[in-house]
Amino acid sequence: MTILVIAEHDNQSIKAATLNTVGAAAKIGGDVHLLVAGAGCGAAAEAGAKIAGVSKVLVADAPHYDAQLAENVAELIKGLAGSYSHILAPATSAGKNTLPRVAALLDVAQISDIVGAESADTFVRPIYAGNALATVRSSDSVKVITVRTTAFEPVAEAGGNAAVESIAAAADLGISSLVGRELTKSARPELGAAKIIVSGGRGLGNGENYHAIMEPLADKLGAALGASRAAVDAGYVPNDYQVGQTGKIVAPQLYVAVGISGAIQHLAGMKDSKVIVAINKDPEAPIFQVADYGLVADLFEAVPQLTAAVG
Amino acid sequence: MKILVPVKRVVDYNVKVRVKADGSGVDVANVKMSMNPFDEIAVEEAVRLKEAGIATEVVAVSAGIGACQETLRAALAIGADRAILIETDAELQPLAVAKLLKAVVGKEQPQLVICGKQAIDDDANQTGQMLAALMGWPQATFASKVAIADGRATVTREIDGGLETLSISLPAVVSTDLRLNEPRYATLPNIMKAKKKPLDVTNPADLGVDVAPRLSTVKVEEPPKRGAGVRVADIAQLVDKLKNEAKVL
Ligand SMILES: Cc1cc2nc3c(=O)[nH]c(=O)nc-3n(C[C@H](O)[C@H](O)[C@H](O)COP(=O)(O)OP(=O)(O)OC[C@H]3O[C@@H](n4cnc5c(N)ncnc54)[C@H](O)[C@@H]3O)c2cc1C
Ligand SMILES: Nc1ncnc2c1ncn2[C@@H]1O[C@H](COP(=O)(O)O)[C@@H](O)[C@H]1O
């Protein structure tokens, strides 16, 4: 059994989500290869070769993989699939975009967002916003899988010594192109990788309040900032702050929910956090049902007090 | 330009589903059903493109049991022109739906398919990408802005780090994210009008598609419950608990 893990990278370095995905591959068992498809991605491939548990890195370096668009990358993976029992990618926006395309090209199902691997063909995945867990068995020859990174321990970033092999690029389909990216710049940790997340909802009232109330707390705690959909929709913060069923799935050591009611769609994204704190003025808010520590209070008083009390 | 919009009938997003005692699935008997919220956004987007004079016809299509007619009527009430039901009692997985949609695309020849990014029951997030692959078309998933001009679509997508804009040739598949638009409420006159709009019924056999599932469900369980938490009186107590009990500070 050999498993191909699709690396998430920016041509220079490998994203943390890849380490959890290799962790999931290790759980399934077998040899693990890593695919780095990019343009000028030698540094990323070198970094991939150091990941613990990876035995070979395949590098497809070509201009038409620069933006890692789904059409071209899926075509490349299709050509490699014959040698593999499983193809895994993290269930990030990139993995979710590309992998179903691979599955369809191979005429197999995709198993989305697994949180457990029971055997080589049986996997656990959440359905209905995490209100149920389904155990599913695949009868397909190749298992195409996206991995919920919070459910699998990352492997070590260093210590491995994999062979690096250049592979030929597949054809450039030429049907899509990147116009541009507007990436949120932040000195704070990434939501997916943060140990502490402070997350704000509609209770903050507006964007200025979000920044004035939440940022000092995040600074003190070295935390990432998150938000509910309502806060994102109302424009308090950019879309990539959204935690939930249809946003990011997080599981930090500490999640502090401020002025968030706790709709099932939000809970779906954070209820596996180790410790949950809720600050909400409504004692009936459903967020208190999942909170380890609940404080019924006006956030405009409580959060600055918390900021002053920590660190 | 014709736009095809796949719409799925799902358990309403406000319902907290229960797992069946025998572990065979979730209990959907007597539960409120609605159109998948992302598909409402897809219908709205298609109708807006028609209102802007860019699209000429909007066709809604749903695969599933006879009751999916209600979902299709809801799409017609938002402003779709006609509807197609692919009727079957079989369990449909995303690959099978993508193949059914491919067959419909073959007949209808739309220039654009706008679907939801994810059905909120199976949370699969696959069907649109699979359809694009089967057609050999480009895709723009998780769209928050769509502009059509000169035979191409320029689509802004919500990605993990922020936003990305793609230019794709048509025909293509676009999948909707939450912030693409806010769907209108269907007015009573439009609901009445929707009842008279054409709704054709076909089935997987007529479309020549094998919908046999590739994944079998071994069991469905409740997720582990979190232990009951405590209320703290004030910030001082909260900080004390976080430092000394939970040891996360
Ligand atoms: C298809 C679909 C997908 C969705 N996906 C997501 C998702 O991924 N993530 C997500 O978050 N949501 C998602 N939602 C939306 C979700 O259903 C809720 O609408 C949303 O989470 C509510 O955000 P909120 O808690 O900030 O706002 P509200 O529900 O309005 O809650 C605001 C809270 O703030 C409290 N508050 C107000 N003022 C104060 C104060 N001064 N001090 C303290 N507390 C105060 C209130 O008591 C209230 O509990 C989705 C919905 C749909 C239909
Ligand atoms: N049975 C179905 N009938 C019509 N459209 C569907 C069906 N299943 C999925 N879709 C479409 O595909 C999208 C993604 O679904 P999924 O891949 O199941 O998460 C949905 O938002 C719909 O637009």
- Full DSSP string of B65-111: STTHHHHHHHHHHHT-SEEEEEE--S---HHHHHHHHHHHHHHH--S
Residues A148 and A268 occupy one common structural domain: no
State what percent of residues in chain B have pLDDT above 90.
98
Mutation site for A-interface testing, chosen from B164, B216, B240, B245 by largest number of A Cβ within 10 Å: B164
Q: Cα–Cα distance between B36 and B94 in angstroms, integer?
A: 14
Confidence of residue A167 (pLDDT cuts 50, 70, 90): very high
- Residues B107-149 have pLDDT tens digits of 999 999 999 999 999 999 999 999 999 999 999 999 999 999 9
Give the CATH number of the domain where residue A203 resides. Answer: 3.40.50.1220
A221 pLDDT exceeds 80? yes
Phi (first) and psi of residue B42, to 5 degrees: -65, -45
Query: Which of residues A151, A166, A181 is at a domain's end?
Result: A166
Is residue A281 situated within a structural domain? yes
The b-or-e profile of A176-210 (16+ CB within 10 A means b, else e) is: beeeeeeeeebebbbbbbbebbbbbbbbbbeeebb
The ligand that comes nearest to the alpha carbon of residue B35 is 2
So what's the pLDDT on residue B226? 87
Residues A12 and A149 occupy one common structural domain: yes
Q: Cα–Cα distance between A166 and A290 in angstroms, integer?
A: 48
Chain A nearest C-alpha distance from B97 (Å): 11
Residues A82 and A218 occupy one common structural domain: no
Residues A162 and A197 occupy one common structural domain: no
Confidence of residue A192 (pLDDT cuts 50, 70, 90): confident
Tell me what the mean pLDDT of segment B38-50 comes to: 98
Range of the domain at A124: 2-166
Question: What amino acid is encoded at A113 in this protein?
Answer: D
Hey, which residues 1-20 in chain B have their CB within 8 Å of chain A? 11, 13, 16-17, 19
Average pLDDT over all residues of chain A: 97
What are the distances in angstroms from CA A56 to CA A35, A45, A128, A216, A248? 9, 10, 37, 44, 30
pTM of the model: 0.97
Residue carrying the six token digits 């780095």? A36
Q: Note whether A9 and A31 are within 8 A (CB).
A: no
Q: Cα–Cα distance between B19 and B30 in angstroms, integer?
A: 14
Residues A149 and A205 occupy one common structural domain: no
Residues A68 and A199 occupy one common structural domain: no
Confidence of residue A193 (pLDDT cuts 50, 70, 90): confident
- CB neighbours of B21 closer than 8 A, spacing ≥ 6? none
B170 in reach of chain A (CB within 8 A): no
Is residue A283 situated within a structural domain? yes
Residues A107 and A28 occupy one common structural domain: yes
Residues A33 and A120 occupy one common structural domain: yes
Residue carrying the six token digits 């007949």? B107
Residues A154 and A21 occupy one common structural domain: yes
* Ranges A2-11, A87-96, A180-189, B53-62: which has the least confidence: A180-189
How many other CB atoms are found less than 10 A from the CB of residue A172? 13
So what's the pLDDT on residue A258? 98
- Residues B224-247 have pLDDT tens digits of 988 889 999 999 999 999 999 999
**Residues with C-beta less than 6 Å from any ligand 2 atom:** B 6-8, 36, 38-39, 42, 62-64, 92, 94, 97, 115-116, 118-119, 122, 124-128
Is residue A180 situated within a structural domain? no
- Residues B176-197 have pLDDT tens digits of 999 999 999 999 999 999 999 9
Q: Cα–Cα distance between A284 and A294 in angstroms, integer?
A: 11
Q: Note whether A231 and A204 are within 8 A (CB).
A: yes
Residues A114 and A31 occupy one common structural domain: yes
Confidence of residue A311 (pLDDT cuts 50, 70, 90): confident
Cβ pair B220:A127 closer than 8 A: yes
Q: Cα–Cα distance between A117 and A26 in angstroms, integer?
A: 10
Q: Give which of B187, B207, B202, B182 is closest to B69, Cα–Cα.
A: B202
A119 in reach of chain B (CB within 8 A): no
Hey, which residues 190-249 in chain A have their CB within 8 Å of chain B? 192, 196, 221, 229, 232-233, 238-240, 245-246, 248
Task: Specify the number of domains making up chain A.
Answer: 2
Residues A104 and A215 occupy one common structural domain: no
Is residue A256 situated within a structural domain? yes
Give the CATH number of the domain where residue A153 resides. Answer: 3.40.50.620
ipTM of the complex: 0.97
Angle (deg, nearest 10), helices B94-108 and A93-105: 70
Q: Cα–Cα distance between B177 and A232 in angstroms, integer?
A: 13
Architecture of domain B2-244: 3-Layer(aba) Sandwich (3.40)
**Ranges of each domain in chain B:** 2-244
